[in-house]
Amino acid sequence: MSADASSAANGPVDFEAFHRDVRALRAELDASVTEADGEHLQKLERWGRLCTAVGLATAWMGPNPVSAIALSLGRTTRWGLMHHCGHRGYDKVPNIPERYTSRVFARGWRRMIDWPDWMVPESWIYEHNILHHQYTGELRDPDLIERNANYIRDSKLPMWARKLAVAGLAFTWKPVYYAPNTLRVWLGRQGDHQGNEPDAPWSTFLARCVGPYVAMQFVAMPAVYAPLGPLAVASAFTNSVLAELLTNFHTFLVVGPNHAGDDLYRFDDRPASRGEFFWRQIVGSANYRTGGDVNDWLHMWLNYQIEHHMFPDLPIAAVQRAQPKVKALCEKYGIPYVQESVFTRFRKMVGIFTGEETMRRAPPRPRKRATEKVDAVATEDAVPFTAEEAAVA
């Protein structure tokens, strides 16, 4: 059930003690990482490859849901792998094959093997790993939906038209929104990251994002079936397009609602300590139903959003182990822990998109001044992040 996030403002949080407990939990989780965590990832990769194989084996048999759904799950699995490998989640797993480390996965020519998607891997890593995770819920967060959706929220469209616009975005969001925006933010790395970076040149967007993906999924893939005749090629093309619509909706369903809803916070300043930083990751994020590899695989492991934002560079099985411990920690300190069905969270995200709901604004830092040894005024320089921590956090 969703906790009442207003409780976060009703009493002080001892950030110093909270941070000590977070560090102790992190040490415990680090010590729990073994080769089994790498084997677990490879098992999930096999699930995705099996789906892709089924989709390709049935793609020529006319437009059909088996091929479209299987291809979609295969593509979604690749993004899940990129998300966790790109976050350095497997860099320190004992005896992990190098191809699963952040130094190799989807880098250079391996992009079209490991993560053939609309986004340029380096641009996604910068936009997501560095900016979104360091500035979660702040104006510098490039994924702040309440701000990014102003073109819908502030429009004069009737509510039904606004919801129709969100539905259209759900099925096309990677090429229409995410790929161009990650590229724009990456190319404008010296900008203010508040939506004011100039758009990437169309030629760059077409060459880096659209061209490679279209060539692979909508030209080369259908062309493989040419020996079976034009109907087989047309069927494969149609199934690939249907799979793309499905994987867009699937990823939008689990990615979009993570930090959106009228019970979650956004922030107008910087955290003044590491303890407050971790507190913000919790009260600005929502989990979905957790537990079981099939359930978690279908959620791309983003159903552990709170734990992921606290410990983004952990293997996904370790994040799974962390969940009850983080929840208990929140209960200890009276920090709201929001967890609901992905469909409930999706409805709340739509409310933010359309302007029916508004995000909560965090009050001035609720802390016990007797234990918190930081300045009352938060500035970016006051936050004890190193460049390396920023890249991981």
Position 216 in a domain: yes
CA distance 94 to 10: 44
Position 60 in a domain: yes
Number of C-beta neighbours around residue 294 at 10 A: 9
Half-sphere exposure of residue 308: CA atoms within 13 angstroms, side-chain side? 31
Position 155 in a domain: yes
pTM value is 0.88
CA distance 61 to 19: 56
Position 40 in a domain: yes
Q: How far is CA 197 from CA 129, 152, 183, 185, in A?
A: 18, 20, 10, 6
Which of 314, 256, 305, 315 has the alpha carbon at shortest distance from 285? 305
Q: Once rounded to an integer, what is the mean pLDDT over residues 18-37?
A: 97
Which residues, 6 or more positions from 145, have their beta carbon under 8 angstroms from its beta carbon?
256, 259, 260, 349, 352, 353
Half-sphere exposure of residue 386: CA atoms within 13 angstroms, side-chain side? 2
Burial environment of residue 268 by CB neighbours within 10 A (0 to 12, 13 to 18, 19 or more): exposed
Q: Which residue range is the domain that position 134 belongs to?
A: 7-392
Position 2 in a domain: no
How many structural domains compose the chain? Answer: 1
By three-state DSSP, how is residue 43 classified? helix
Q: Once rounded to an integer, what is the mean pLDDT over residues 358-381?
A: 51
Does the pLDDT value for residue 392 go beyond 50? no
Position 1 in a domain: no
Per-residue model confidence (pLDDT) at position 4: 41
Does the pLDDT value for residue 235 go beyond 50? yes
Report the sign of the C-alpha dihedral through residues 29, 31, 32, 34, in that order. Answer: positive
* pLDDT tens for each residue of 63-104: 999 999 999 999 999 999 999 999 999 999 999 999 999 999
Per-residue model confidence (pLDDT) at position 191: 59
Q: Is residue 137 within 8 Å of residue 259, measured between CB atoms?
A: yes
Position 157 in a domain: yes
Per-residue model confidence (pLDDT) at position 189: 78
Altogether, the residues listed in the chain come to a count of 393
* pLDDT tens for each residue of 243-300: 999 999 999 999 999 999 999 999 999 999 999 999 999 999 999 999 999 999 999 9
Position 353 in a domain: yes
